Structure 1
Amino acid sequence: MTTFTTAQIPAMTGRTVVVTGANSGIGRAAARALAARGARTVLAVRDLTRGRAAAATMVGDVVVRRLDLADLASVRAFAADLTDPIDVLINNAGVMVPPLGRTTDGFELQIGINHLGHFALTNLLLPRIRERVVTVSSNGHRTGRIDLDDLNWDRRPYRAFPAYAQSKLANLLFTAELDRRLTEAGSPVRATAAHPGMAATNLLAHLDHGRSPLQRLRATVTERLSQSDEDGVLPTLYAAVADVPGGSYAGPAGLLQGRGAPTLVGRSRTARDSTLARRLWALSEDLTGVTCPLDTAHTRPGGPAYCP
């Protein structure tokens, strides 16, 4: 088991990191730790006022840029504006069990923000990424089921927890397929994933949503067992800077992966389904209109990534 702490983050001077959802919770903790080690850190946030307030608490070269993952036009604008090389992209932003909602483009809110928004962002930025893409998932992926015929809950009665689990499973399938494509292309870029265990972040805001006594009990237990942002962020940082293989999944080493030092952890059988990962990728391209960029010139060692 690793004893990884923020003190083991290598010097990041001269490197650029983009963190989505960096104005609070795990994202803010990740951005703060990486900026402190010298990285030029871009806080990709929907609310610029909150983003600037978060940046004011950090030491180092910190830039705030607007990104609304619930609006593909915003995702495209962000990617077009960010023209410099990116060393590490951390796909952290997310929503958890909100009431039924839709993104600007009509996607169910959780699959739209947690997966499709990050899918589009990653592929738009990929020609400029040099080292790693980290996507934050959840242990909740284990109960997830991908419905390729109704990804956006148009035909089924909406259920917040299954919708959340589907989005977090999608994060792991995306990571696996992205890493497969990068490896096949001979790219030096690695795709990894992480989950924070039970972390007391703003994601818990909707946990008491609904009338079910079981939902309310689950919310109470989760909040009482949760660890701090500073502890919850360690798997994300480990996946971002440690020497781990592409496709790795990091999480806490403690009981039920709820808390503890970061280590590489397992995932559900469904999350390891390569055929499902490819089908989800194709569907995500169709839904977002964003495809994996083709540029064989970027396969040289040390160059940016591309996808075949």
Structure 2
Amino acid sequence: MARIFITGSTDGLGSMAARLLADGGHEVMLHARTAERADEARAALPANDGVAIGDVSSLEEMRSVAEQAADSGPFDAVIHNVGLGFQATERISTVDGLAQTFAVNVLAPYVITASMPQPSRLIYLSSKLHRRGEFDLDDPQWTRRPWDGNQAYADSKLLDVMLAFGIARRWPDVLVNSVEPGWVPTKLGGADASDDLEAGPVTQAWLAVSNDPAATVTGQHFFHQELADVHPEVRSVEKQDALLDYCARLADVKLA
């Protein structure tokens, strides 16, 4: 039996992964944005091992979620599932003045990772759209460029894979990987999504607990339990370090 913490697990793929793991006999701690959502998550999965509460668009609440999880730990695995979809019409600013897409999709996984004790395994949710992303640390918060919600989302998913690969390199004793679950019909994916919803949570759950040699690897990117191609910039050590250093400066928390 393993203990797993899953961010963004009140609905969609996070909730599905939590149920899959709980049904397999594992202990799963959930994460909800609000107390109301936490109550809904507890009701949906009575076998939960607690719920961390916090809106991870805020730096203060990112740290709070990490503290709540750390107090409940240790964990064998953490699945960084939390994420926002496209914000097509305008840039939304967080309480910290950051682009909300970047804050939730990139900075929150970094802060929670850096603020918790190291688990044995880390899994970061990305997207096949990461291949359309652009690595741009000149204006990652879209304060100078005209807002492009599609590009901002693709960029954030590229940075998620780079987080995974960079952390895998810095933490060689932890199995760190990223996953693209496919375009599935969740609230984030939308009703027109064409990929298999039931297959969507399987790979991240498998990476969290399986002893299959194919799952006990690090610094890899997966789609449906198979290795998948990544954007060519993902493997740049210089760019991985630039991203990790940028996140550390924004959040004032360094990766151990």
- The answer to whether the superposition gives a TM-score over 0.5 is yes
2:206 corresponds, among 231, 238, 248, to: 238
1:203 corresponds, among 188, 194, 203, to: 188
Amino acid at match of 1:103: T
Amino acid at match of 1:279: A
Aligned to 1:249, what secondary structure does the other structure show? Answer: strand
Aligned mates of 1:272, 1:289 — CA distance in 2: 25
Q: Who wins on radius of gyration, i.e. which is larger? A: 1
Between 107-116 and 55-64, the greater mean CA deviation after superposition: 55-64
Aligned mates of 1:171, 1:182 — CA distance in 2: 16
Aligned mates of 1:277, 1:245 — CA distance in 2: 19
1:16 maps onto 2:3 in alignment: yes
* 1:70-109 paired onto structure 2 within 5 Å: 70-81=57-68, 82-83=70-71, 84-98=73-87, 99-109=90-100
Aligned to 2:255, what secondary structure does the other structure show? Answer: coil
1:175 corresponds, among 144, 164, 171, to: 164
- Residue 129 (structure 2) aligns with: 140
1:32 corresponds, among 7, 19, 26, to: 19
- Residue 44 (structure 1) aligns with: 31
TM-superposed deviation, 1:291? 0.5
Amino acid at match of 1:202: K
Counterpart contact for 1:68–1:74, Cα < 8 Å: yes
Q: Aligned pair in 2 of structure 1 residues 16, 79: CA closer, same or farther (>3 Å)? A: same
TM-superposed deviation, 1:197? 0.8
TM-superposed deviation, 1:67? 2.3
Counterpart contact for 1:87–1:131, Cα < 8 Å: yes
Aligned to 1:202, what secondary structure does the other structure show? Answer: coil
1:56 corresponds, among 22, 40, 43, to: 43
Amino acid at match of 1:74: E
1:111 corresponds, among 102, 106, 131, to: 102
Aligned mates of 2:140, 2:226 — CA distance in 1: 31
CA shift digits 1:28-71 (9 cap, x unpaired): 00111112222221111102322322332225243122022101
Aligned mates of 2:6, 2:248 — CA distance in 1: 22
Aligned mates of 1:87, 1:67 — CA distance in 2: 22
Aligned mates of 1:177, 1:131 — CA distance in 2: 16
Amino acid at match of 2:248: E
Amino acid at match of 2:109: H
Aligned mates of 1:276, 1:148 — CA distance in 2: 9
Counterpart contact for 1:173–1:277, Cα < 8 Å: yes
Aligned mates of 1:190, 1:67 — CA distance in 2: 26
Aligned mates of 2:193, 2:83 — CA distance in 1: 21
Counterpart contact for 2:78–2:119, Cα < 8 Å: no
1:247 maps onto 2:219 in alignment: yes
Amino acid at match of 1:250: F
TM-superposed deviation, 1:225? 1.4
- Residue 226 (structure 1) aligns with: 195
Aligned to 2:61, what secondary structure does the other structure show? Answer: helix
Aligned mates of 2:123, 2:243 — CA distance in 1: 18
Aligned to 2:52, what secondary structure does the other structure show? Answer: strand
The runs of 4+ residues in structure 1 deviating greater than 4 Å are none
Aligned to 1:56, what secondary structure does the other structure show? Answer: helix
Amino acid at match of 1:139: K
CA shift digits 1:127-157 (9 cap, x unpaired): 2x33101000000000100211101001100
Report how many residues are paired. Answer: 248
1:263 corresponds, among 207, 226, 231, to: 226
Aligned-pair Cα RMSD in Å: 1.6
Gaps of 5+ in 2: none
Aligned to 1:33, what secondary structure does the other structure show? Answer: helix
| Normalised TM-score (structure 2) | 0.91
CA shift digits 1:155-194 (9 cap, x unpaired): 10010011001100000111011000012xxx2x211111
Counterpart contact for 1:48–1:64, Cα < 8 Å: no
